[in-house]
Amino acid sequence: MSEKTDNWNEGLNPELTSDMHLIYPFHNLYEHTCFSIFDLLWVRDFNVEISVEYDYATYKE
């Protein structure tokens, strides 16, 4: 029972983020969009653009 609680603050300064319990929402921003908590303090608006190209043929050319 003396194990440290995992609060998913990996990669952040443990002293600065010890009182923040940034579980799943921050995980998505940090891991999938490469944002950090320090970026979020300054960002007021952002836009995510996704471009997908797919070429599919049902027969050999």
- Extents of the domains making up the chain: 1-60
**pTM above the 0.85 mark?**
no
Mean pLDDT value across residues 19-37: 69
- Is residue 55 scored above 80 in pLDDT? yes
Distance, C-alpha 15 to centroid of its chain? 20
So what's the pLDDT on residue 24?
65
Find, among 19, 23, 20, 30, the residue nearest to 8 by Cα. Answer: 23
- Is residue 51 scored above 80 in pLDDT? yes
Chain mean pLDDT for the chain = 70
